[in-house]
């Protein structure tokens, strides 16, 4: 609905904030999200001529964009090395001994040191799916896990 009503970044940048809020309201935190959408659209149009930048530093300039989303864009849109360090990635990589700690940027640095750059984005997508299906936060399916023998948490 949002892109049907505002098909271009310029349309979104000039859009009525209350209309954007109404469209994104079902997503929760709609006022903040609407503000970020409008602000990001304005920056995209005024500073970048409507073309999404392809560096971490530039993407972090956008309201509402942190390292996780910037990495997602870098990997999925631009095909660049990207480590999307979300809750699944942090939990599972810690359990497997691939990383230590719970701070996303630290875990991201640790994974950059061991993952082949061309596989980093795909790795993170697979970890998310694995975290939803097998290695869940509360009740992991350790008995079904093909990686249980590498896990620091699993105790047969």
The answer to whether 111 and 85 have CB atoms below 8 angstroms apart is yes
- pLDDT tens for 20-49 read 999 999 999 999 999 999 999 999 999 999
Residue 43 has what pLDDT?
98
Query: What's the mean pLDDT when you consider all of the chain?
Result: 95
Q: Please give the Cα distance from 55 to 38 (Å, whole number).
A: 21
Q: pTM for this one?
A: 0.86
- pLDDT tens for 63-82 read 999 999 999 999 999 999 99
Answer yes or no: is pLDDT of 144 > 90: yes
CA 4: distance to chain centroid?
A: 24
The CB-side HSE value for 70 (13 A sphere, CA atoms) comes to 19
Q: Sign (positive/negative) of CA torsion 97, 133, 146, 80?
A: negative
Q: For the residues of the chain, what is the DSSP string, one character each?
A: -HHHH--SHHHHHTS-HHHHHHHHGGGSSHHHHHHHHHHHHHHHHHHHTT----SHHHHTTSTT--HHHHHHHHHHTT--------HHHHHHHHHTTS--SS-HHHHHHHHHHHS-GGGHHHHHHHHHHHHHHTS-SSS--GGG-TTGGG-SS---
Residue 152 has what pLDDT?
85
């Amino acid at each position: 609905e949002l892109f049907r009503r505002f098909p271009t970044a310029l349309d979104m940048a000039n859009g009525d904030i209350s209309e954007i809020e109404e469209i994104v309201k079902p997503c929760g935190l709609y006022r903040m999200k609407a503000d970020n959408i409008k602000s990001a659209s304005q920056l995209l149009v005024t500073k970048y001529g409507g073309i999404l930048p392809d560096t971490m530093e530039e993407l972090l300039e956008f309201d509402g964009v942190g390292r996780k989303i910037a990495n997602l864009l870098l990997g999925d849109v631009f095909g660049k090395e990207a480590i999307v360090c979300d809750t699944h990635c942090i939990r599972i990589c810690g359990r497997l001994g691939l990383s230590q700690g719970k701070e996303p940027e630290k875990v991201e640095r640790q994974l950059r040191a061991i993952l082949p750059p061309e596989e980093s984005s795909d790795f993170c997508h697979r970890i998310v799916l694995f975290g939803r299906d097998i290695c869940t936060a509360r009740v992991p399916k350790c008995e079904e896990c093909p990686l249980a023998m590498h896990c620091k948490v699993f105790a047969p």
